[in-house]
Chain A
Amino acid sequence: MIPTLIVFGYLAIVVYIGVFAFRRAHGKQEVEDYFLASRSLGPFVFLMSLFGTNMTAFAILGSSGHAFANGIVTFGLMASASALVIPLTLLLVGTRVWALGKHYGFITPVQLFRDRWETSHVGTVIFAVQAALLVPYIIIGMMGGGTTLEVVSGGRVPYWLGSAVVALVVMTYVFFGGMRGTAWVNTFQTTLFLVFGAVAVVVIGWGMGGFRSAVEALAASPQSFLLTRERFSPLYFFSYTFIPLSSIAFPHITIFCLTARRMSQFRKTVVFYPLCIAAIWLPCVFLGVMANRATDVPAIQEKLDARETLVAQAGALPKGEAAALRAKAAGDDVLLLLLDHYAPIWLAGLLGAGIMAAVMATDSQILALSTMFTEDVFAHYEGKARFGEAAQVHTGRAFVIGLTIVAYFIALRLPESIFAVAVQYAFTGFAGLSPLLLAALFWRGSTKWGALASTLSVAAFVLGIAAVNAIVPAPPPGQAIVVWSLAGQDLLVRTTGGLSMLGLLPVVPVVLISALLMLVVSMLTCKPSPETIARYFPARGGPPPLGGEPASRSFGS
């Protein structure tokens, strides 16, 4: 009961911070203040909230659950690949987005695309695909919230209620606190988790009688593969380096890039980002692996038994029974179970609150959706002029509530793990959209038709992945089902974590085909006007670009 009360107390603090403590919208800058905190975030809040926005249920519960089943490979797949690619994209793309946003007053990425490619409806298509792809990311936040509250409360708060509580809390402070509230809540949450993550490692290590003996026992067991990467092919491992391309293409991250007071605030963020990733992921992955030796925790022993039955009787089990065993063997809650068993009751509550902190990064996605709908659809199609500013805000919130309800019901029924949902749909989709940003900022030859082809190809791919995953159920860990082979070559294979194409994660063909379509279709179609291209790619030493600025302006160059 005490841990539950601590977590609910924490939720109350979060609502207070988000709604009351940092609400400062006044007068004519109200819209920019609500959506972008008046582009005024300082260096510490910018780093912590940007980092916190990326550290979701995926990073905490998803990573430990994936490591529980697959071992230490999880860190290399996601954490270290992200440690290089995410800050690199922030430096190359984020700074340019910030500069363009500051100069032209953009609030969303679609506004940038519409201006850059002189288009209206193609921007709307991009908005629709971005909004649809954000749904899986919102779903994992709800799955994480439901799982956390259920385990921390010892089952008193069921999964469906926990997910609903988290969704309500997040929507409350996002709707009332806007970007400023969201940023401060994220800063508070990230700091909390960074502190408690380290405490969790010490407490659980102490409780398990030291990690050294646990690792030695694991190395001597049939599960020794968890300490190496022998079950993963180097090609599959390599393909994960494409996943972090999604980060900068996520609308909530692109929008976050616009909130910095000065561009120099990117400096510290870019340098410290890899260290923050290691600090969050190392305890989660390591504890996820160590959970395989926590056989004195009854719920974990049940998971291990279920996994063993699945592996031993693969193919012989009826469909329903196999699905039930897969659900029982899922590891999204192992970190919470370790805390519940090994930490003192008050500390388990605090650590649970720390985990809840990271899980609730859904806030940025909800705010981004509200911002995008309000700006890219309602205001763009003259809704603001016809129905007024109040209707604009209400419609944006109604859109988000509708989408969140859809996400909630999907979260209640989804059989896949947090890690699989995030990687297969959200990350793959947004990585596929990254060529749009790169082409808009770095290639003067790109066109709206290229952007449309690229966007539609991503949507088709993600729908295809979802369809195959729905038709072919996941095999037990370590096994695979060949879905499509040609001339003896396995083209499409269903694994526990999702699909693989030619031995690669689907994200690789998605990104390459999206980039290829952008290239080919742009070369075959009409470019935007020379004036627009000159605004984004002014010639150095040439005539002044539009607006009479000096010719040295270097957006996108």
Chain B
Amino acid sequence: MKTALLVLATLAVYALHQDFWFWTRAEPLLFGFLPAGLWYHVGYAVLASLLMWLLVTHAWPGQLERDAELPHEDRRP
């Protein structure tokens, strides 16, 4: 269930990249000079960072690190 929710959240963030609602207009301007199509995507980067925090908190592949430390006879010299 948790995995499904995380996949869904990732897909939702991916879809939000396609902000057709700000396509042909610059307003509203943030601080009076940042066009909508620009500040929206800066906000999107912040949202992506929050998603990454969610993923590393709830879907961190910790087992990989423990396994990597195991000795292996096939290791290259």
Contact = CB atoms under 8 A, between A and B. Distances in A.
B52 interface: yes
Interface string A202-239: 00000000111011000100001001111000100110
A96 B60 CA distance: 11
Interface in B2-42: 10, 13-14, 17-20, 22-26, 29, 32-35, 37-38, 41-42
Contacts of B24: 228-230
A429 interface: no
A554 B41 contact: no
A263 B68 contact: yes
A279 to B, nearest CB: 9
Contacts of A224: 26
B66 to A, nearest CB: 8
Contacts of A274: 45-46, 48-49, 52
B70 A549 contact: yes
Nearest to A218: B26
A267 interface: yes
A194 B31 CA distance: 22
Contacts of B33: 210-212, 214-215
Interface residues of A, number: 65
A18 interface: no
Nearest to B56: A267
Interface string A249-285: 0000000000000111011001111110110001001
A275 B14 CA distance: 17
A72 B42 contact: no
Interface string A3-44: 000000000000000000000000000000000000000000
Nearest to B38: A72
Nearest to A266: B56
Nearest to B67: A553
A553 B70 contact: yes
A99 B10 contact: no
B48 A84 contact: yes
Contact of B75 (A95, A96, A105, A550): A105
Given A75-B38, A227-B35, A234 B23 contact: yes
A234 B17 contact: no
19 contacts: A72-B35, A80-B42, A83-B45, A84-B13, A84-B14, A103-B70, A107-B76, A212-B32, A212-B33, A228-B22, A228-B26, A234-B18, A262-B65, A263-B64, A275-B46, A278-B42, A549-B70, A549-B72, A553-B70
Interface of B: 10, 13-14, 17-20, 22-26, 29, 32-35, 37-38, 41-42, 44-46, 48-49, 51-53, 55-56, 60-65, 67-77
Q: For the complex of A and B, list the 4 residue pairs with the smallest distance between their C-beta atoms, beginning with the closest.
A: A105-B76, A227-B26, A278-B45, A83-B45
